[in-house]
A and B are shown apart, each in its own frame.
Chain A
């Protein structure tokens, strides 16, 4: 039987609780088919979590969802193998998702989210031992200190709807830098640089550690992959790893592959026929105000890059609008740079990819902002009005609103797509650029209105339904 061993170096198998920290690769023999199967099972879990998050599910719902997904996919007929399956699948996916920035950007938060939900299901004892394993040996706040800040702690608890701390409640005092998400949500009392973290909140502390360890590990794994593994395993693991890869991320929309470029003169027609609501809204606001704030410029700018607007045209496009508001000079000075930057021509040489629905939906537009996903971020009346403007009415609007109420924003967008195009969209909307390309495909087949080279676009088949 052929077997693959992940990394040979490590000997230690440091699993203590049922929740491994994946600190070092296991010295386990793995059958090649398990290698793939385990990884796919874990991917199903991560994908489920990713979907849940993009629907804006609440923490409790997410916990339940993660639990269900885990039960459904990560069982093993042999009880003794359950932990191994967990570890092996994690390390296989590390290998799969370490290889590009985009892959890492998806994998890292999903694994961290999974870890977080699982951590919360551990017993207090197990949690403490996991903390110790991370070297998070914070001392609990002393009684006298607790008394001195008790009022504030109660105030925080009431502000986030947590039960009030009792006399024997345990709080840890940690540098605020170590609990960024608790700080961001104002879920902790902070005083002179220290956050008072309730024992029920330590998950955040641990998850931050988990995330930073994994982030570093992914970079290292990537180095190993490019320097040795890929070559050594080119006949065995490498093909599997590469095939497992993009399935869940969908195609890469950063380069308009197979499209002809779109030109400025067509853009108004294209907005009406083929832009998803989020981009339509940004576009209209830009025309109206001759300005968009940073978040909007990024969301729309990268989308336009993805649909094939060339750099020069992009600059002309933005300039035509912005210069009406801030003047051509200021545009050249303050804005042109970042457009070039988005196209990877200036500054850091990375190429920015257009935002996916998930990213757009989870953004948090503030005052004066117009980015985000209208299905999530508009009030009901504004959304209804916007839908009407797109030519969606009657029953269709109600169907869309129904999805919105259940926080299925991408499904709402899919229904809009179907209503507008009078044609079904089986794959669902996952990416504004996919919305655009699917729309063009339909329009082209209907009356040749779309862009001609459209049919060439190569779709990456989805591995899983």
Chain B
């Protein structure tokens, strides 16, 4: 980027006074300009390159110099042009291309057997040589898949009442990936608005076959059936598998009883408790509970009605002595139905699924008024109206118009950055305070003069995220990559030596 451009960019930001922005028509493509600055000054290109090289960018003779160049990137441009199968030879090329194209979204695909940009040429040769050979094991958890168990929001919206569902999903999956499967290099990322992504980057994970990926995904799956069949969760057998048992006792049960039950008011209306009664198989228990709850609807106990009813249900199910195990399992099934992580299986099962890169800015659709901190107190009806306005904004051709109508500052409407989440402290993560593009640019703007900091991002709230990415994920990862390259090189040498001796 030339100096003038940088200056120009800064000028623009200077006008970023909120009131002015509301009053003035917003210049066409302002989004792209903001993104340009973001990619120019804040986006951690070098870190992404380092990560995607997995140590192969070094001088060691065991490095595979073609490695990074066989990775697929794909760009979604502002005018909805979708560029797939982009590949780059090095850090410089990657950064240049991102700056030039200024993609609203960057996706990362697998490492292929050959340079994906040249796949056509290889395809001509007939042999099926263009095929994915490595790919992080990835998971995608999306809050929209929880619509039947949350009453606070629906669709792509999240709030402090339902976001914890994501938090416990991280806990359950992260613990299992480390303790059960023995993976170490795991990156969790806020997906921009409505969920989380997980990248498992150990060498062993990257080389898993589709079948093995499928096996891991199935290991995590307790949802059988759907609205067409009966059960949501089926836990058969006389005991829970150790993984499920641990998830239940260490995470799910407490979360359900202490958080979800009261915050979602799971038993507060007939419609809601009927949904839970549906999961109980014993008719007599069902009708007994139903009877109780229909009567004492106006009870004035101080205790939370949800807690009371849940206790009643538990007592009845646990005391069903002669009916035994099956009923007790019912309690677990209810808890699992409401809390257990819901993974998008397809994403994890196939090597060639694309996933949005960390540190992307959630694209235009992220004009989300709901996530601004100050808006949180608004009653939901207002939120709906705002949401509606913004829906207009994204489908309508006059993308600018509703901005003028909207009642809040411009700083809330630009996309959220997909920042890493520390699984050890995931309960502290608050999707409503994730840096937004405009907030970052404002910070940059304000701190601009002070300078003397090595990186621009250090002046912004993105700094924390990038530092976390480096120290907690990238550095340990690269260290183990180097060791792996070193040791596999040694074995190779050993082999060739042996064969010479013979």
Contact = CB atoms under 8 A, between A and B. Distances in A.
A160 B226 contact: no
A327 B394 contact: yes
B226 A369 contact: yes
A103 to B, nearest CB: 16
B232 A177 contact: no
B130 interface: yes
B387 interface: no
A176 interface: yes
A382 B131 CA distance: 42
Given A176-B181, A327-B394, A337-B84, A159 B240 contact: yes
Contacts of A293: 346
B194 to A, nearest CB: 13
A394 interface: no
Interface residues of A, number: 47
A317 interface: no
Contacts of A105: none
A364 B224 contact: yes
A186 interface: yes
B181 A184 contact: no
B221 interface: yes
A382 B221 CA distance: 24
B303 interface: no
B447 to A, nearest CB: 35
Interface stretch (A187-195, A398-406, A431-439): A187-195
B225 A377 contact: yes
Interface string B189-226: 00000000000000010001001101110110101111
Interface stretch (A86-94, A117-125, A150-158, A241-249): A150-158
Contacts of B228: 281, 365, 370, 372, 374, 377-379, 382
A379 B229 contact: yes
B243 A180 contact: no
Contacts of A327: 394-395
B212 A365 contact: no
A155 B130 contact: no
Given A161-B237, A377-B228, A378-B229, A152 B123 contact: no
A337 B238 contact: no
Interface in B222-262: 223-230, 232, 237-245
B76 A177 contact: no
Interface residues of B, number: 48
B95 to A, nearest CB: 24
A56 B313 CA distance: 35
Contact of B226 (A193, A349, A365): A365
A382 B230 CA distance: 9
Contacts of A77: none
A429 to B, nearest CB: 20
A185 interface: yes
Nearest to B79: A329
B7 interface: no
B226 A370 contact: yes
B168 to A, nearest CB: 17
B89 interface: no
Contacts of A183: 212, 215-216, 218-219
A233 interface: no
A418 interface: no
A39 B5 CA distance: 74
B219 A184 contact: yes
B427 interface: no
Contact of B242 (A189, A194, A329, A367): A189
Contacts of B225: 365-367, 377
A465 interface: no
- Shortest 6 CB-CB distances between A and B: which pairs? A193-B182, A180-B215, A184-B218, A158-B239, A192-B182, A184-B215
22 contacts: A155-B240, A156-B242, A158-B237, A158-B239, A177-B208, A180-B212, A181-B215, A186-B241, A189-B242, A190-B181, A191-B179, A192-B179, A294-B346, A327-B395, A330-B365, A347-B84, A365-B228, A366-B223, A366-B224, A366-B225, A368-B226, A370-B228
